[in-house]
Structure formats: C-alpha cells, structure tokens
Structure 1
Amino acid sequence: MAQTVRQVMTAPPVEVSPQASVVEVARRMRDEDIGAVVVAEDGRLRGLVTDRDLTVRVLAEGGDVTDRRVQEACSAEVVTVSPDDPVDRAVELMRSKAVRRLPVVDRDRVVGIVSLGDLAVERDPDSALGDISLADPNA
C-alpha cells in the first residue's frame, strides 16, 4: 500500500493559464478524460478548475462563453499537499475540507494532482468508488 502522496498522484497535471478560455479548458478535460485542471502561471499554482466549476460558474449564467476566461471559474483558494505527505494526510484534508482533488505542490511548483478516485483505487480497489475509478470512461 502506498505511503506517500507521490506514490498515488497523477503527474504531471494538466495545466492552463488563468487567461485560457473556458471553452479550451472544457475541450482539454473532454479530450484527456479528466475532471480538473490546474490553473498556473510560471509553474506556480493560481487555482483549480473542475468540470463542475465550469458548469456552475460559467454555463449556468448563460450567454456567450467564448470570451470567458478560466480565472473567472476557478477556485483560487486551493488546499494542497506535498508529494512527501502521507496518504493519510491527503485523505484527512479531503474529508475535512470537503474536496475531491488536491494539487500536489513541491517548493511552490505544481508537480501533480491527487484525486478521491486515486485514493479509492489505492486503498480499496474493490469498493464502489475504486471500481468506478478503474472503469473505462463512457464514450
């Protein structure tokens, strides 16, 4: 069983700049089959945007989305972990902060992302969440 976040994180994470268009970000999420993208400038974390953020903060408002930027949709206050943190720390942070993804930061640089699904697969691949996380995506 993995002991550190480094052993379960996805690296490198998909990164976009705060000025990226929300349409571009949504397409990257679709094409790479991911639910979250790190928002960074010069390798430094500026936020995290999820598929839900795009839906709730941009699409639900209606109107033309072609000129909207990801900085309008991302969560700027992001809870992070270090790659050397114990997996239990990531679990506790997700539980206490009610988040499903944590950017992994090492010396002010984003080096990965760890998701609830990653932890479920690591801890109990036969659980419902572990099973879903291991399944092929819907077409």
Structure 2
Amino acid sequence: MAQLVRELMTESPVTLASDTPLREAARRMRDQDIGNVLVADGDQVRGIVTDRDVVIRAVAESGDLADWRIGDVCSERLVTAAPNEEADNAIARMREHAVRRIPVVEDGRSIGMLSIGDAAMERDPRSALGAISAAAGNA
C-alpha cells in the first residue's frame, strides 16, 4: 500500500501572523530547531518563511531588522500537500518546484509540514540526507 503524506509529515508546524516581527520568527526557528515558519492570516495559510528567506531577503538587504515583518519576506506561492495524498505525488511536486518543504493543508489550515528530510529519514535512513536529517541540530 502506498505511503501517505500524513505518515511522513511533522505535525503542528509553527504558524505566525504576517505582522509578526521577523526577529521573533527567527528566534522561534532557533528555539525549536526548525528551518521555517508558516505565515497565516487567521486560520488560512498565506505563505512560508525559511531561514534562507531571512538571510537572503532581509539580512542581506538591511542590517537593521527592527521594522521587518514576516509578511515582508515570505514566499506566497505555496506548494502544498493534502494529508491523505500519496507521499510519492507530494515528493514529485517538491522536486518539480525545487522546494525542500511543503505545508500539509486541510481545509485551508496547516496541520503539518513535509520536508525532504522527513522523507529521507523514513525511506532511506542510511542515506546521507537521512542521516543528516536525523542528527541533532547544531544551533
């Protein structure tokens, strides 16, 4: 039987309002050892901010992050997955769009996050990506 996205995803992703200060989002990523937060307006997922977005879109642009909000740097073109879809389909979509992680959305609300690391740890834990993804963070 095919594996479902729900079986691979990480549950309860961090979701913040678009007007959340960028520095707060970065702290949450650090404290929870994650590489992204979702951006939502109410219950509806609107975008994603990755640690790379913080560096490329904010730090490189301006050393002073005091006035930056996550809505200023988030990627709004979301690639998403449904919890009950086959994981292979979601992974193929990640490859097609060259993204490393996608929100798992049900009725417009985020219920999880699927990353290539999650897939590697489950499907090929002895691969380099599986081993790296399973290792403790260095933050």
TM-score w.r.t. length of structure 1: 0.96
* C-alpha distance in 1 between matches for 2:110 and 2:40: 8
**Cα deviation code 1:7-39 (max 9, x no counterpart):** 111111101110000000000000000001111
The answer to whether the 8 A contact 1:47-1:77 is kept is yes
Taking the TM superposition and a 5 Å limit, the aligned residue runs for 1:106-117 are: 106-117=106-117
User: What is the DSSP-based 3-state SS (H/G/I as helix, E as strand, rest coil) of the residue aligned with 2:60?
Assistant: helix
* C-alpha distance in 2 between matches for 1:37 and 1:89: 23
Deviation of 1:101 after TM superposition, in Å, equals: 0.5
* C-alpha distance in 2 between matches for 1:89 and 1:78: 16
The answer to whether the 8 A contact 1:104-1:110 is kept is yes
- Look up the match of 1:21: 21
Deviation of 1:67 after TM superposition, in Å, equals: 1.1
RMSD: 1.2
Between the aligned residues of both structures, percent identity stands at 51
**Cα deviation code 1:26-78 (max 9, x no counterpart):** 00000000001111122211100000000000000124211110011100110
- Residue ranges of structure 1 left out of the alignment (5+ in a row): none
User: What is the DSSP-based 3-state SS (H/G/I as helix, E as strand, rest coil) of the residue aligned with 2:119?
Assistant: helix
Report how many aligned residue pairs link the two structures.
139
The verdict on how the C-alpha distance between 1:91 and 1:75 changes in structure 2, with shifts beyond 3 A counting, is same
Taking the TM superposition and a 5 Å limit, the aligned residue runs for 1:1-139 are: 3-139=3-139
* C-alpha distance in 2 between matches for 1:112 and 1:68: 26
Deviation of 1:2 after TM superposition, in Å, equals: 6.9
* C-alpha distance in 2 between matches for 1:86 and 1:25: 31
* C-alpha distance in 2 between matches for 1:63 and 1:114: 31
* C-alpha distance in 2 between matches for 1:92 and 1:84: 15
